[in-house]
Amino acid sequence: MDHLRLSALALVIVSLLVYVRQYRSDLAILLSLAVGILVFLAIRAELAAVVYQLAELAARAGLQSVYLGTVLKVIGISYLVGFAAQACRDAHENVVGEQVEFAGKVLILFLAVPVMMAVLDSILELLP
């Protein structure tokens, strides 16, 4: 989906959300979530192309697939956690949104530890 269509869709949906939120805030939250899912589905081809290009770049650079997988997981976690936290904020549940973000940061840290250990091992091998 090109940026013009996506921008036009966003403007139409925001206008609809402002109207719906005045009368049925519960439906506005569901509509907002549905739009987020539709936008993700609309850009899945571009997302797949980016993942393919990253995999190709990693193969050319001779990186292990474990590292690329970790990077892609971190990116996925950050986007999904951001989406979920914003949905919580839209529902006026700021504390839940902050907890979701904290959990996402812990998951990212958990994924980063093996990569940090590999970097440290490489540095220690270079030292006499």
pLDDT per residue over 54-63, tens digit each?
888 888 887 7
The pLDDT confidence band at residue 1, using thresholds 50, 70 and 90, is low
pLDDT per residue over 103-118, tens digit each?
999 999 999 998 888 8
The pLDDT confidence band at residue 126, using thresholds 50, 70 and 90, is confident
Concatenate the DSSP letters of all residues of 43-110 into one string.
Answer: THHHHHHHHHHHHHHHHHHT--HHHHHHHHHHHHHHHHHHHHHHHHHHTT-HHHHHHHHHHHHHHHHH
Supply the pTM of this predicted model: 0.73
